[in-house]
Amino acid sequence: MSIAKKEKAASTILLGRPKGTLKMGLVGLPNVGKSTTFNFLSKLSVPAENYPFCTLEPNLARISVPDEHFDNLCRIYQPKSQVSATLSIMDIAGLVKGAHKGEGLGNSFLSHIQQVDGIFHVVRAFDEDNIVHSEGAVNPVNDLQIIYDELRLKDLDRCQKLYDDMKKLVDRGQNKNLAGPFEMLQTFLNHLKSGNWISNRTNWSLKEVEALNDYCFLTAKPVIYLVNMNIKDYLRKKNKYLVKIHEWVEKNMRGPIIPYSADYEKTLIEDPASLQEHVSAVQKIILTGYSTLQLIHFYTTGKDEVKCWTIREGTKAPQAAGVIHTDMEKGFICAEVTKYDDLIELGSEQAVKNAGKVATKGRDYIVQNRDIMFFKFNPAKNKK
Ligand code: GDP
């Protein structure tokens, strides 16, 4: 494969392996507003009965991802059940300086971060004398740096251990297949040592991305910065810390920054009449969380149910079927694909069929965003 082709291929293989249940974790120092944020998000949770196969944990809020295309399909089909895409948000207790060495229960918090697909980093940008700051004073840039370093140092520790273990095997010289993996570990180790997150580099090779996805490093996860400010600042769109926060993020991470006020969102749910303006940031938080994981939707539709499924860009038809059920992937025969725009334009499934616009696709078909999929599969194959 030419270098240009290889790079193109690598760019379609992304860091991380989000599954159907997408999880973002709320991470930050203590007293920055994580619990307040988690609490107002929990109040928006979709009812658990819509997701019978998923157990809901107390520190997990499952929120519907707003999607006008899904709403339009529900209007056409009027189904008995509507199941939209969701994003789960996990409350992770506050990290403190030294967490990577186990300070303040650091190790268990860090293992929670391991479970999530992406990170909402809550940054305190409100002054409030009565609310103690773990570092003694409100200083968002300092806070950003602490969390950045703690997660990096944790990865560095782990990477060093992996490297040392593999080095012993390489030194014994018995296993020639280890040369490639060992070289890669060395590259990751140097990258982390030089002060970087894994996600700071975007031109990892295909092989490196595969290895990184197996190692599941904390610093390979995408980060969105939630800047928590007072109601007054939020409404007037001014905050004395914002410029410095932007500068730090631009220099170190380039992740999205969302200004919001946990206090405001909480009040908007509990006592909306007390607020003069209603300008919630929640939709933006959820949509940004979802889009940062670089995912697309496909739908299954019918009178009984309209459901939105989530896959990564580049997923082929059998693997997309596998998101619904592994049997459908194993026994995959073909997929009937209707384009969302055709359905909206022609108004009904029957009209699309009459117009000859339902396409039959095989196992190499790459599912496109908003495709409406009907999978044909052979259940007999499963008995093998
Ligand atoms: P956590 O430790 O990060 O989970 O922080 P909490 O959500 O428990 O918040 C710590 C304290 O800060 C609580 O007393 C909150 O009411 C308060 N707080 C949270 N967000 C805001 C905010 O936007 N403005 C102000 N003034 N206080 C806030």
CATH classification at residue 343: 3.10.20.30
Residue 18 confidence (pLDDT)? 59
Could you tell me if the CB of 259 is within 6 A of ligand 1? no
Residues 340, 211 share a domain? no
The SS3 assignment for 362 reads coil
DSSP state of 13: S
Residues 151, 54 share a domain? yes
Could you tell me if the CB of 368 is within 6 A of ligand 1? no
In 3D, which of 111, 102, 89 has the Cα closest to residue 34?
89
The boundaries of the domain holding residue 352 are: 315-377
Residue 174 confidence (pLDDT)? 76
Query: Could you report the per-residue pLDDT of 254-290, keeping only the tens digit for each?
Result: 889 999 999 999 999 999 898 888 899 999 998 898 8
E strand or H helix that includes residue 197:
none
Residue 12 confidence (pLDDT)? 45
Residues 198, 283 share a domain? yes
CATH number at 35 reads 3.40.50.300
Residues of the chain under the 50 pLDDT cut: 1-12, 381-384
Does 44 fall in a domain? yes
Handedness of CA 239, 243, 248, 253 (dihedral sign): positive
d(CA 311, CA 304): 22
Residues 36, 136 share a domain? yes
How many domains does the chain contain in total?
Answer: 2
End-to-end CA distance of the chain: 36
Residue 8 confidence (pLDDT)? 42
Rounded to two decimals, the pTM is 0.84
Residues 175, 121 share a domain? yes
Q: Residues 6 or more apart from 16 whose CB is under 8 A from it?
A: 117, 118, 213, 220, 221, 222, 293
In 3D, which of 52, 50, 57, 116 has the Cα closest to residue 85?
50
Residue 3 confidence (pLDDT)? 42
Residues 323, 198 share a domain? no
Query: Could you report the per-residue pLDDT of 324-345, keeping only the tens digit for each?
Result: 998 999 999 999 999 999 999 9
Residue 13 confidence (pLDDT)? 52
In 3D, which of 249, 225, 253, 16 has the Cα closest to residue 116?
16
Does 279 fall in a domain? yes
Does 263 fall in a domain? yes
The atom of ligand 1 lying closest to the CA of 264 is: 23
The number of beta carbons lying within 10 Å of the beta carbon of residue 96 is 18
Residues 328, 211 share a domain? no
The atom of ligand 1 lying closest to the CA of 122 is: 3
Could you tell me if the CB of 262 is within 6 A of ligand 1? yes
Does 230 fall in a domain? yes
Look at residues 261, 292, 323 and tell me which one is the last residue of a structural domain. Answer: 292
Does 76 fall in a domain? yes
